[in-house]
Structure 1
């Protein structure tokens, strides 16, 4: 489910159990093989965040994702990525790295810059938002949290670059940054009121509906690449050394 780009990708990753008697995280291998392999079917899943079309950079992903079906698919052993039965660890390493980086940071904090720029140069219903102390306080709080996102990203990238023990840091960033993005969109909606609900194409939409599309797209970031609930569990076990429940 939710296999982004499967409709134009040339290859795909697949985790498959290759040792049914091994513990659940062992006995899994990861393969990479061509999408034109017989038995693969790709079906579209359409999202609401780009209908009507969203301004560039406001949402995570395209308006189409996919579900992929494998029926009697056979691939040669040469498609194995890494060691046999160690695919879970190969995949986990890749996902952990995928949760950090400049692009992820921008997804989380670009909204902060958008609302700062809007408030600086616009009035709303005759109200000068930049002179409203409550608005200024809330935006300042968001901006401070955005800097925390930036520092967490820099820490993760530094650990990877220096070959450090990168375990729970990606999960911590994956919790803080997306939840900050959700908080930002909700706060902006409270500041702008009904205008925050007007999508691109609406007569009174603010800056092509940028804030409304952000609101629709923000919540999925807490699920993509591992839900924040799962990430909290990884922080507890890998970062704090707590036992399993």
Structure 2
């Protein structure tokens, strides 16, 4: 017969953004409840819950109603699957559905946070309520990616900001600490790069289609961003930051 451990390994992972405690019965919030209902789980089925505060919880479905689902929390596993180095990604938003794909893959690759930017060459222009809706959508994409890939801490997807405003608010020293790098197509970017084995945080800035405008890159460099080249080939706006994450979010 399958062991409890093997059952847990096959159990669906569900984000439940509320404080969890062992031995308690919990009515899942609407989003998590819908997830369980879509999977057609029955009472007695194992699930894994994570609240974003670290580790994950083994739980069992107790009740499945028409609009409500109750689970019983059993035990907490303090396992972490985060990168040793926190990499904060600031990216000029690519057009169409490419930003969804970028958020999903950046989450899988371990981004600690994602800051969408409206740069001079950005095709997408967002503000007000529309920007807030897109932020909520992208945060949901990040949650779903965490459920799939095994992360227990959901990266924050910030509300889109205009590039200049974001850079001014960043100031001389980023709140995240660590190094600042801007992905650059400048032939003079040189071979400097973050160390592969480092553990201090990085802020990686990447432009939209066509890259950052020269004045924007110059402003970033004046704010402490060092130019970083990813090689001789020109990568797409949604590809370049993922290559950098795969290399430095270890």
Task: Give TM-score, length-normalised by structure 2.
Answer: 0.25
Higher helix proportion: 1
Task: Give TM-score, length-normalised by structure 1.
Answer: 0.26
Instruction: Please tell me whether Structure 1 or Structure 2 has the larger radius of gyration of its CA atoms.
Output: 1
